[in-house]
Amino acid sequence: MNLDEIKEKLARSCRIIAMQRATEKGRGHQCYLHPDGDKILIPGHLHDYGKAIADIQGEDIVTMDFEGNVLEGKHSEPMGEFHAYTAVFRARKDVKSVVHCHPPYANILAAAGKSILPIARDGCLFYEGVPVYEGYPLYVGTREMGEELVETLGDKRAVLHKGHGAFVVGRSVEEALIRTLSLEKAAETQVFGSILGTLTPIPVERMTERETDPDDHIIDDFFGYYSGKLDKLEGE
């Protein structure tokens, strides 16, 4: 893919997050490590213009260096909390994309001192656990906080910032998106399941690789499904 295609896919993924209600109040964003490896593709700061994650288009994606300076794009500032992204990309060579969002059910679990349990398929993606970061303020606005958050993340696929939101990583735009949607669906299932009865996690030895680490074909299928759903919604 060329840069324009990556930007369009990144913007589409952001709109899918909004469509699936995986974030609250129109907040959240997704970024991608520039193919050069020393820059980041990220939505420009749109909230000051009355726009939200559901409004992001390819033209809204800017190129940012690891210090937060916009090098190319129509917006003069990137979305906030980029310190978390730069810290992830410095620490995790396996990660190419990061999502930050405010998932309501996952936030409920974190507020209650809980984390994601693999009680259904979506939760199996996080069978190794989802750590909870309890740093303040509830905004990752400094390099130090970004590094603390990533230290808590470790080698896992997501981290919950208690009282704030989630940061989810992936090896591609598509994988980070699917993990983000699965995180919130798993949390919703867990919240309602705990009301109705005792939760019984699926034993790791009973899980298949399709459930714990779906391949690119499966991820592409899911991305295609959500893309088609988005096209229908935006075409109405």
Per-residue pLDDT of the chain (236 residues; tens, 9 = 90+): 789 999 999 999 999 999 999 999 888 999 999 999 999 999 988 766 678 899 999 999 999 999 999 999 888 888 878 999 999 999 999 999 999 999 999 999 999 999 899 999 999 999 999 999 999 999 999 999 999 999 999 999 999 999 999 999 999 999 999 999 999 999 999 999 999 999 999 999 999 999 999 999 999 999 999 999 999 999 86
Number of domains in the chain: 1
Tell the burial category of 217 from Cβ atoms under 10 Å away from its Cβ (0-12, 13-18, 19+).
Answer: exposed
What is the per-residue pLDDT for 79?
82
As given in the structure block, the two tokens for residue 227 are 């893309």
Give the C-alpha distances (Å, rounded to integers) separating 101 from 43, 60, 137, 181: 13, 18, 16, 10
What is the per-residue pLDDT for 78?
87
Give the C-alpha distances (Å, rounded to integers) separating 83 from 74, 79, 150: 21, 10, 10
Give the C-alpha distances (Å, rounded to integers) separating 68 from 27, 149, 222, 230: 19, 18, 32, 30
Closest CA to 173 of 216, 113, 123: 216
Query: The tokens 């730069």 sit on which residue?
Result: 86
Strands 29-33 and 97-101: antiparallel
| Single-letter code of the amino acid located at 200 | T
Query: The tokens 């209650």 sit on which residue?
Result: 112
What is the per-residue pLDDT for 107?
96
Tell the burial category of 72 from Cβ atoms under 10 Å away from its Cβ (0-12, 13-18, 19+).
Answer: exposed
As a whole number of angstroms, the distance between CA 80 and CA 151 comes to: 20
| Single-letter code of the amino acid located at 161 | H
As a whole number of angstroms, the distance between CA 99 and CA 92 comes to: 14
What is the per-residue pLDDT for 26?
85
Query: The tokens 């699936």 sit on which residue?
Result: 20
What is the per-residue pLDDT for 75?
86
What is the per-residue pLDDT for 210?
93
Which residues constitute the domain of residue 121? 3-235
Give the C-alpha distances (Å, rounded to integers) separating 170 from 47, 96, 179, 218: 25, 6, 8, 14
CATH number of the domain at 60, please: 3.40.225.10
